A and B are shown apart, each in its own frame.
Chain A
């Protein structure tokens, strides 16, 4: 079949979170690396079943927090004790105690920005084009369906073997992810032949 050659991935549906969890572990054990699960909500234990390491987000947030802290302290010191020196009620120009609230707030603010934009960066979002959307049924992954997808870029990916494997571990509605343009080409080819 010519269409399977153009497949950029394969998608299988599983009945429930439990089936998906078992399937993900089997795919991981079969040596696949470029595979993913698609679920309407985070399924408990799926990270371990897929062999995903802990998110690195915490380190990004730590950097954001330290930046916020330094920015706040430097800003307040420079503005009150260097650039615009005004003595208020006989207090020292640089009195860190009075600068604690704003330093705290800016630490939180920068950390929160680092969290959100760090999460988006790690997830490569926004990403409006993705091969998974070649499938029509993937829309149900945000409703009530549980999918497992394997990319054709995985060294172990073989269109037929991978399909058989997915079906043998309980995958149903298995479909190849084929770019729409090439799907149209294939139809034409089929008609000509």
Chain B
């Protein structure tokens, strides 16, 4: 029996602790309604650290803009370094949010309701971090708007045949649609907070944000249709975004990049890394805010199963790349793959394989799949492994392509490392603000999945 099925007779209920409609409202709303002084200490400590890191990143970016991309470890031949690695890493993180909110919605996986709101928030913040990197990587960031087809005094237009331009459209569409989807989901919950608000200013602000929502069934009818359509639109969108990101590599003729497996391989990797990040954040949020009744072991176990599956998919892709490079008979392809596994970057390659392919295998055992410390550690290992995957793809191929005379070893500088760590600071700062000020669990949706929400529940 699958634990993703919603047969409540054989499986634990989705929401535990005998929740009623009003206790659900109370438990989730009170987190954002407490007074400033009563905010958990852990929140302030985490916010202090992460906003400092983000501030540090701001200073480094200021220096970068002043001095130029030469402060990074970029060299000839490795013209793409950590900035692009980080871009792909962060876009990938975002994908799990859309998978949970849209694809699992279409598959009628009701267990998603407890985790979709903050997975969507994670998507938006991850895409913000991702979008920053190409912006500062272009060198002259003050003309980053040249990436968009805007009329200009030079009377020229961007090259629509370039995958880099496709990427601009894919990522900005993804960001916009994710924000729309997130906001639409928030409207009923903002109305709940509005109706509970005590102070005048809070009532007015939430009133404006909730748009005058009154829970009317004539509105719910259009609302549910809109939600379904948005899920239907976001599903192909999320698959297209990482496909287009992979085109940045696959359309180039660099060995190790020029392969047709890239789109599905990138999408699987994105979902894999995104779920790992959702897991890391969910375990922490659940612990700080004591949300065990809402984010139950069943939710966590299901996410672990998805990580096991997608981990095997990326493992298959790694193996397939090797097979094709041998079977394809192209000596440059063969040499790059042998170099990846045994060359100067072998340490990065085997870090990637052990984190991404070996570590999730532990989830075959139910005991490990349902152990919080185990899943927390594995989720962090996967985050590390997936970052290394993008590093291996980007850097190994560039540093050793066709001509041995133009080979070079890429070493990051303190600014590469600092800006990457700072991007985690930015991500966590935004995420902590979200946890503090907006309901982290979709109140209306969770009410809809408890047994009392079904009119037939009262027939007996």
Contact = CB atoms under 8 A, between A and B. Distances in A.
Interface string B420-460: 00000000000000000000000011011000111111110
A120 B184 CA distance: 10
Contacts of B223: 42, 119, 123
Nearest to A101: B166
Given A16-B452, A16-B458, A80-B157, A52 B221 contact: yes
Q: Which of A45, A106, A118, A122: most chain B CB closer than 10 A?
A: A122
Contacts of B181: 112
B327 to A, nearest CB: 27
B376 to A, nearest CB: 32
Interface bracket on B: 35 or more
Contact of A105 (B155, B163, B170, B229): B170
Given A83-B157, A98-B161, A18 B458 contact: yes
A55 B222 CA distance: 6
B217 A38 contact: yes
A93 B179 CA distance: 35
A63 interface: no
A40 B207 CA distance: 16
Nearest to B163: A101
Interface stretch (B19-27, B365-373, B393-401): B19-27
A140 interface: yes
A46 interface: yes
B455 A128 contact: no
A40 B454 contact: no
Contact of A115 (B218, B229, B455): B229
Given A42-B220, A101-B244, A143 B196 contact: yes
A150 B143 CA distance: 57
Interface residues of A, number: 69
A44 to B, nearest CB: 7
Given A17-B454, A40-B444, A119-B223, A46 B217 contact: yes
Interface in B160-175: 160-163, 165-166, 169-170, 173
A84 B456 CA distance: 64
A132 B214 contact: yes
B161 A109 contact: no
Given A40-B215, A43-B217, A144 B173 contact: no
B170 A116 contact: no
B161 A91 contact: yes
| Chain B at the A interface: SS class | helix
Contacts of A58: 225, 229
B177 interface: yes
Nearest to B456: A18
Given A102-B166, A106-B169, A141-B214, A40 B447 contact: yes
A24 B21 CA distance: 21
Contacts of A130: 212, 214
A118 to B, nearest CB: 7
Contacts of A40: 21, 25, 188, 192, 215, 444, 447
Contact of A125 (B20, B161, B213, B217): B213
Interface string A11-55: 000001111010010000000000011111111111100101011
A133 B183 CA distance: 23
A130 B212 CA distance: 8
Contact of B211 (A95, A125, A142, A143): A125
A36 B218 contact: yes
A58 B86 CA distance: 38
B157 A79 contact: yes
Contacts of B281: none
A115 B230 contact: yes
Interface of A: 16-19, 21, 24, 36-47, 50, 52, 54-55, 57-58, 61, 75-76, 79-80, 83-84, 86, 88, 91, 95, 98-99, 101-102, 104-106, 108-109, 111-113, 115-116, 118-120, 122-123, 125-130, 132-133, 138-144
19 contacts: A17-B452, A17-B453, A17-B454, A41-B448, A43-B217, A44-B453, A45-B455, A50-B217, A57-B225, A58-B225, A80-B157, A80-B159, A105-B237, A106-B173, A112-B176, A112-B181, A112-B234, A125-B212, A126-B211
